[in-house]
Amino acid sequence: MAGSDTWTVGTYLAKRLEQIGLRHYFTVPGDYNLVLLDELLKNETLQMVSCCNELNAGYAADGYARATGGAAAVVVTFSVGGLSVLNAVAGAYAEDLPLIVISGGPNTNSEAEYELLHHTLGKIDYGYQREIFDRVTAEAVVVTNPADCPRQVDDAISSALSLRKPVYIEFACNIAGLTVSRPSRREFGHHPVSDSKALCDAVDHAAELLNSASKPVLVAGVKLRSSGAQRAFCDVAEAAGYAVAVMPNAKGFFDENHANYIGVSWGPVGSPGCSEIVESADLGLYAGAMFTDYTTTGHSSLIDHKKMIQVHPHSVAMPQQTYTDVAMADFLGALAPRLERNDGAVIAYRRIEEDVRRAAPNSPDGPITTQQLFAAVQKMLDGTSCVVAETGDSWFNGMQLHLPAGAAFEIQMQYGSIGWSVGATLGYCLGAPARRVVALIGDGSFQLTAQEVSTMIRYGVRPIIFLINNGGYTIEVEIHDGPYNTIKNWKYAQLMEVFSAEDGQGWGCSVTTRAELDEAVKTALGHHGPALIEVAIDRDDCSKNLLKWGGYVARNNGRPPRFD
């Protein structure tokens, strides 16, 4: 690390990453970032995690930010690296994750001297990468002068933490080792400050509406996390006694063992009885909800706005009135003591509640069914577990899992980039080493990003990956089938031997019966490295909710154009 009197561009950046809580950063080296990596390595608090490609490094940073609740960093080279990580950064933007993208850039002299460079578009204009990232970040800057480095780095990091969005910082390759001023004392990020009158008026209005309702409900949405309002939401639930549901991308945000929890609100594919209670409520408070085609099952389950109080990160929308400059956490915290207890919706739910955790059919020697697989997953879970569910049927089966108190659940529903879960599993394991990650990944998704399992082996993390082999892109089949949804089969379990080579601790096996599955789970739980269990599932054995959901989404996608 730099001495107390000598700081470089690179060591300054490293110190700031350390100060905001990072212990790892993810990277793929390239000639434009090599000197920068040398400088970052001088910080012994930070561990460099070398990934197989930039896209996976970005997904790993995504998972790391989810695990820690803070920021994550990915370091790439110019253009060939930067544009490769772009998809992961777009996903982090959609999911409100403060991912710090650090890219090497051309020498400061190259553009001025009209030099054509490798890894570029063959034009003497090297600002295009910043311009592209400007669309998927809260701030995108290029650092070419060491004197400006502290301000630019600090402002970008502050934006990432304050706005809960990615930022992009590009460093010219010939400045990483140049000296800069020492890092000053600074607090990064800030919580939004509510306008006191708007907050008071919004709370008064909401309390009046909710206390007048006969069967109000609470619904947790995905933006609770990025708004830092999960605790405040739980306080409202405790104070009011309302029935509590979660949107599918907020599963795990509320204790599923709580007496008032009624399940996942997802229209016709939600938890049994849940959507009926939510949709029949005379008033619902929706905190951080996003109503997209995916979360509303092709816009088939939209609620009348006259029956909604929508709490957004910085505003509260009520029937016929919206209050701006009101922070979500402030609003929920002030609302909780103003509410009268009302368990009308909870009582109604208990009348129709079904036990959906039925035992799987007892056929240990027959082919494994999806129901049997997820029954086995359910038995594995405890309060230290984190379930990472890949886009596809794992979403729908994962929603049926009952999370023990303290367990976490991660899903990329807004962006839905298949293959995300492999890198995200790596990042989550490093960000939360006390948790045991259980990853649910389909074969089609796995083929996009499979090589990052070798990085899991390299760094000794211990996820258990259930590789669901059903011969193709099941989610796409149910939306719109065609020959393009069939993939080439792999011997997935044998990849663990390939990736481990002579020094790794990866373990894999293939199972076709429930008895084999039970034995594999026992082995995986005791293994001291990554474990991959390839589970052969019939192509047509998917959840009925995927079938239903796929039909709704297909109809929504297939609406004819209007030219009026």
pLDDT in tens, 72-124: 999 999 999 999 999 999 999 999 999 999 999 999 998 788 888 889 888 88
SS3 labels along 281-310:
CCCEEEECCCCCCCCCCCCCCCCCHHHEEE
Q: Answer for the pair 468, 537: CB distance below 8 angstroms, yes or no.
A: yes
Q: What CATH superfamily is the domain 370-547? A: Thiamin diphosphate (ThDP)-binding fold, Pyr/PP domains (3.40.50.970)
CA angle 302, 220, 214 (to 5 degrees): 70
pLDDT above 70 for 1: no
Domains 7-180 and 196-352 share a fold: yes
76-80, 115-119, 260-264, 383-387: segment of lowest average pLDDT:
115-119
Angle between helices 54-68 and 82-94 (to 10 degrees): 30
* pLDDT for residue 357 is more than 60: no
| Rounded Cα–Cα distance for residues 209 and 70 (Å) | 35
Helix 328-335 to helix 196-212 angle (10° resolution) is 50
In single-letter form, the type of residue at position 291 comes to F
Least confident span in 3-12, 99-108, 420-429 = 3-12
Q: What is the pLDDT of residues 235-253, one digit of tens each?
A: 999 999 999 999 999 999 9
Look at the domain 7-180 and name its fold. Answer: Rossmann fold (3.40.50)
Quick one: tokens of 371?
Answer: 């129901």
Model confidence band, residue 7 (pLDDT cutoffs 50, 70, 90)? very high
pLDDT higher for 551 or 396? 396
User: Which segments of 5-121 does DSSP mark as H helices, in order?
Assistant: 9-19, 34-40, 54-68, 82-94, 108-112
Specify the pLDDT at position 541. 81
- Host H or E run for residue 255: none
Q: Show me where the domains of the chain are located.
A: 7-180, 196-352, 370-547
Q: Which helix (H) or strand (E) holds 220?
A: strand 217-220
The per-residue pLDDT for 475 is: 65
- On the question of pLDDT at 359 being above 50, the answer is no
Lowest mean pLDDT among 43-57, 136-150, 332-346, 472-486: 472-486
* More reliable by pLDDT, 259 or 365: 259
Token pair 């910043």: residue: 130
The superfamily (CATH) of domain 196-352 is TPP-binding domain (3.40.50.1220)
Mean pLDDT, range 195-209, rounded to an integer: 98
